[in-house]
Amino acid sequence: MADTTPVIEIRNLHKAYGSLEVLRGVDVTARRGDVVSLIGSSGSGKSTLLRCCNLLEDSQQGEILFKGEPVRWKGEGHARRPADAKQVLRMRTNLSMVFQQFNLWAHMTILQNVMEAPLTVLGRPRAEVEEAARGYLAKVGIGDKCDAYPAQLSGGQQQRAAIARGLCMEPEALLFDEPTSALDPELEQEVVKVIKSLAEEGRTMIIVTHDMKMAHDVSDHVVFLHKGLIEEEGPPATLFGAPKSERLQGFLKSTTHA
């Protein structure tokens, strides 16, 4: 029998910065092979939700479960922190995050960038990691750039290198935070193509994006956030084809005219 335990499950998540409530009780589930896209206006809580999911931000209330295992917490409210550093590290190494701004090490070659975390965090053998890294760089279409430095690459190539770096950790899920928003339209398409191919492979992904076409094309489930709450969610055909809420209708109109 197939394992139906979600890879990531977020229940009733609350996050505030001081008195500003950014997330006000959000539930998101990603099962194995699911692609979940988070859409919404700037400030709706999308990126914060992703950062809480990866434990880069502490939430004040609610549960985060990874493959059925809940994050253990100590303290309450603004004093709430993960209780077990080893658990955090283990979960984080299984959730590769790809950021808007690539975050590549400028002083390392592209190959070294991709190899760094599996070597230092996972302690895997160098020859095995190098073979995997070269394979993933080829997969994202920049196998010929192994010896180049980040500054020698276009933004689209740097973002593809960042995706290869995430894949080289062999994660259970990939988290994308606006992976195309720092790119020019023609470079954006290179990255969208890679994300589509990962979706077709059945990789579990949560994607925060402003690109409605990509969200429509790659997602199994789309979540529209508004002011820290889920306003509407469902399969992309329904959400984009027949949005129920006026807010979502307005949001989609504003993005198609942008």
Angle in degrees, 0-180, between the axes of helices 126-139 and 110-120, rounded to the nearest 10: 130
pLDDT value at residue 143: 96
In angstroms, the CA 258 to CA 104 distance is: 30
Using an 8 Å Cβ cutoff, are 191 and 183 in contact? yes
- Residue 85 included in any domain: yes
Among residues 235, 232, 201, 230, the alpha carbon closest in space to that of 220 is found at 235
DSSP per-residue codes, 14-46:
EEEETTEEEEEEEEEEE-TT-EEEEE-STTSSH
Q: Considering the domain boundaries, does residue 56 fall inside one?
A: yes
Phi-psi region of 25 (alpha: psi -120 to 50; beta: other; left: phi over 0): left
Is position 181 within any domain?
no
Tell me if 149 is assigned to some domain: no
Domain span at 230: 1-94+210-258
Q: Is residue 103 part of a domain?
A: no
Q: What angle do CA 204, 209, 213 make, to 5 degrees?
A: 95
Domain assignment present for 18: yes
Q: Is residue 222 part of a domain?
A: yes
Residue 110 inside a domain? The answer is no
Name the residue type at position 157: Q
CB 176 within 8 A of CB 205: yes
Q: Tokens for 132?
A: 């995997």
For every one of its 258 residues, what pLDDT tens digit does the chain have, with 9 covering 90 and above?
557 899 999 999 999 999 999 999 999 999 999 999 999 998 899 999 999 999 999 999 999 999 999 999 999 999 999 999 999 999 999 999 998 888 899 999 999 999 999 999 999 999 999 999 999 999 999 999 999 999 999 999 999 999 999 999 999 999 999 998 888 888 889 999 999 999 999 999 999 999 999 999 999 999 999 999 999 999 999 999 999 999 999 999 988 654
CATH assignment at residue 13: 3.40.50.300
Q: How far is Cα of residue 208 from the mean position of the Cα atoms in its chain?
A: 7
Q: How many domains does the chain have?
A: 1
